[in-house]
Structure 1
Amino acid sequence: MCVEGCSSGTGWKQRPWCLWGCFVGRADVYLQPGAADPVLSPATVLALARRHVSAAAAVTGVDESGGEARAYLVDDDVVVKTQRPHRLRPRTSLAKEAYLLDMLETGLGARVPRLFGYDKVDTPEGVVEYLCMSRMRGLPARAAEISDAARPVLLTGLGRLLRTLHATRADDGVVPRDTDAAALARRLEFGFGDLADALSQRRNAWTAPVPADEVARRALAALPDTLAGPPVVLHSNPSPTHVFVDPDTGQLIGLIDFGDAYASHPALDLHRWPSPADRVMIRDGYLDGGPVGGDFDRMWTIAMIVTDLAVIAAGSPYAPQATVDLTGRLDDL
């Protein structure tokens, strides 16, 4: 597991915004880790794109930065996305992403990719499941220089976008959900277990006055026995990797990659940035949308503690701020 700003992989400067993705934890397994991972030929990619965009002319690039999916860039404005077979996980689904993009178009418009089509078809290179959609303008926030003046506008705007997302109704058969407080507790128990594993590999990273296992115990004990409202559709990782901005102004353009979406407590979508101050601004924008459930503040505090732990475990440059934030939030439980 790693967080935005981790020091794993090729180094922080090369991979500055990697959230939760450096290893597969207790709740996730790769179903076929030994599967071949071929890159499709340009001819096959164009044939898939032209089923939905007849004017598609050329494959202009291949993006594997997400690790688990491969995005074939067609012309300047089309993406053909496929699942990398050896990184297939139970909760990741191109069909689910297609469903959500279609559902979100009314409420979010150009803030999310436009769905052109989804299918699973026979090709000269075998059966290919794919998603064809528009390419989001701008750059991922992780790759952009965002000024101090633009940052609050960006992050409160993201909070408002997530509030709109969470108001979207989705079919239970397509989007998995935490149906009750017990399911939510299981999810967080897995998460804290993964963080304990990560911290065990960086024993010198922990400087907080309370032991990490005590932090996890107190956070889990503070979970509500019942939830104040029904689960809402979550993006699951609206981090600087998936949030796109105008590189010149830092203004929010949109959000990509809904393949890991699920439904649960709304606070679990508001804590995926490494800086505690950034997370607070996202929350402020979210709360602009009106009242929230009675358990929101408690769940928000627990979610902040989860990310603070992850930031520390990853050796992130934000670890000192996360340590201070975590220590203060324990008093709020």
Structure 2
Amino acid sequence: MSAPRTLHDDEPAMDETLVRGLLTDQFPRWAALPLRPVASDGTQNLLFRLGDDLVVRMPRTPGAAADVPGEQDTVRRLAPRLPVAVPEPLGTGAPGRGYPWPWAVYRWLPGTIPAGDRLKDPARLAVDVAEFVRALQKADPAGAPAAYRGGSLAPRDAGTRETIGRLEGIVDTGAATALWQDALDAPAWTGPDVWLHADLEPGNVLVDPETGRLTAVIDFGCAGLGDPAVDLIAAWYVLDEEGAAVFRTAVGHDEAAWRRGRGWALTIAVHELAYYRGRNAFMADTAARVLGRLLG
């Protein structure tokens, strides 16, 4: 039984033996269910399918582990207000057997991730994503935390420029810098902060493989209140050119928001490309595709 490949420096070792032991100690009612790793390109959690209906999420990093309680509160709060399924938390595990952090058991959500520029029904998916974003933005913000991404782009300026520079010869750094400056120059958001998912990337979106319709959105660790421009990244990350045009009409927002949204997509993509090259081909390829769309 081989351990899944580690992705980050100092990531704890995790395998089926560890997870089975933690379940035996803490959730004996589930300990005898079949357990197997889930093939996933996710970067923050390792997934283990538990029986037919459950999934164990094991954080890979301290940041992902710190998100566990807040994410569970968030999905419980938002689930009744959203038009598609979101993760249903069923149990929170404690550190044990050498594993240092909290972990969680969720209801398994079926579906496949959208396949970049090979979407089955781009226009319909675009409408579905827009409906999700609009419903999220209408949810009651009282007492909600700030989103991981959701404030001004300005604090990311130095790091984004440095990362663009490290991609010299890989991307058009002049075009990337110009797009970034345009996003910084866009008028700031002056409305009330709204609920954001803040990480609408392909790995966090599930679609029906037969129809291409949106069935679920997962991984709410970045969610919270902020500038609605952040969730416009779905236009480049999740959708193709056809879908992006439909999404823009369906989701709304003014040109200033779209300029900031392009900036968010750019800063996320350059950091992902720089970090995940040689570590995670799916994440690096997705980031390169996004940058190609933004700069092309």
| TM-score (norm. length: structure 1) | 0.67
Question: Conserved in 2, the CA contact under 8 Å of 1:56 and 1:74?
Answer: no
Identify unmatched segments of 5+ residues in structure 1: 1-21, 23-29, 325-333
Measured after TM superposition, the shift of residue 215 of structure 1 is: 3.5
2:220 alignment partner, SS class:
coil
Tell me which residue corresponds to 2:187: 223
Measured after TM superposition, the shift of residue 143 of structure 1 is: 8.1
Structure 1 residues 266, 62: closer, same or farther in 2, change over 3 A?
same
Question: Conserved in 1, the CA contact under 8 Å of 2:144 and 2:224?
Answer: no
Tell me which residue corresponds to 2:229: 267
Structure 1 residues 44, 253: closer, same or farther in 2, change over 3 A?
same
The correspondence for 1:135, drawn from 105, 108, 119, is 108
Measured after TM superposition, the shift of residue 305 of structure 1 is: 5.0
Structure 1 residues 200, 172: closer, same or farther in 2, change over 3 A?
farther
Does residue 323 (structure 1) correspond to residue 295 (structure 2)? The answer is: yes
Structure 1 residues 258, 178: closer, same or farther in 2, change over 3 A?
closer
Greater RCO (Cα-Cα under 8 Å, separation 6 or more): 1
Tell me which residue corresponds to 2:255: 297
Question: Conserved in 2, the CA contact under 8 Å of 1:178 and 1:231?
Answer: no
The correspondence for 1:307, drawn from 260, 265, 283, is 265
What is the CA–CA distance in structure 2 between the aligned matches of 1:88 and 1:122, rounded to whole Å? 12
C-alpha RMSD of the superposition? 3.6
Larger helix fraction of residues: 2
Does residue 161 (structure 1) correspond to residue 159 (structure 2)? The answer is: no
Q: Which one-letter code corresponds to 2:127 in the other structure? A: T
Identical pairs, percent: 19
Structure 1 residues 266, 173: closer, same or farther in 2, change over 3 A?
closer
Q: Which one-letter code corresponds to 1:200 in the other structure? A: E
Identify unmatched segments of 5+ residues in structure 2: 1-6, 274-283
Structure 1 residues 66, 110: closer, same or farther in 2, change over 3 A?
same
Q: Render the CA deviation track for 1:42-68: whole Å, top value 9, x for unaligned.
A: 4225337846x7597221334452122
Structure 1 residues 142, 95: closer, same or farther in 2, change over 3 A?
farther
Structure 1 residues 189, 155: closer, same or farther in 2, change over 3 A?
same
Q: Which one-letter code corresponds to 1:158 in the other structure? A: V
Structure 1 residues 185, 152: closer, same or farther in 2, change over 3 A?
same
Structure 1 residues 184, 144: closer, same or farther in 2, change over 3 A?
closer
Greater Cα offset, 136-145 or 240-249: 136-145
What is the CA–CA distance in structure 1 between the aligned matches of 2:169 and 2:62, rounded to whole Å? 26
2:47 alignment partner, SS class:
strand
Question: Conserved in 2, the CA contact under 8 Å of 1:49 and 1:80?
Answer: no
Greater Cα offset, 244-253 or 311-320: 311-320
Question: Conserved in 2, the CA contact under 8 Å of 1:309 and 1:322?
Answer: no
Measured after TM superposition, the shift of residue 134 of structure 1 is: 1.0
Q: Render the CA deviation track for 1:292-319: whole Å, top value 9, x for unaligned.
A: 6xxx430212322553687798784566
Tell me which residue corresponds to 1:5: none
Question: Conserved in 1, the CA contact under 8 Å of 2:45 and 2:64?
Answer: no
Measured after TM superposition, the shift of residue 192 of structure 1 is: 3.5
Question: Conserved in 2, the CA contact under 8 Å of 1:98 and 1:131?
Answer: no
Does residue 281 (structure 1) correspond to residue 246 (structure 2)? The answer is: yes
What is the CA–CA distance in structure 1 between the aligned matches of 2:194 and 2:220, rounded to whole Å? 14
Tell me which residue corresponds to 1:89: 63
Q: Which one-letter code corresponds to 1:60 in the other structure? A: R
Q: Render the CA deviation track for 1:258-284: whole Å, top value 9, x for unaligned.
A: 112242211111123344543333333
Tell me which residue corresponds to 2:157: 189
What is the CA–CA distance in structure 2 between the aligned matches of 1:177 and 1:68, rounded to whole Å? 14
1:140 alignment partner, SS class:
coil
The correspondence for 2:210, drawn from 248, 255, 270, is 248
Tell me which residue corresponds to 2:195: 233
Q: Render the CA deviation track for 1:127-152: whole Å, top value 9, x for unaligned.
A: 541122111111111389533xx210
Q: Which one-letter code corresponds to 1:323 in the other structure? A: L
Q: Render the CA deviation track for 1:219-275: whole Å, top value 9, x for unaligned.
A: 312232xx3212222212212221111111111111111112242211111123344
What is the CA–CA distance in structure 2 between the aligned matches of 1:300 and 1:118, rounded to whole Å? 38
| TM-score (norm. length: structure 2) | 0.75
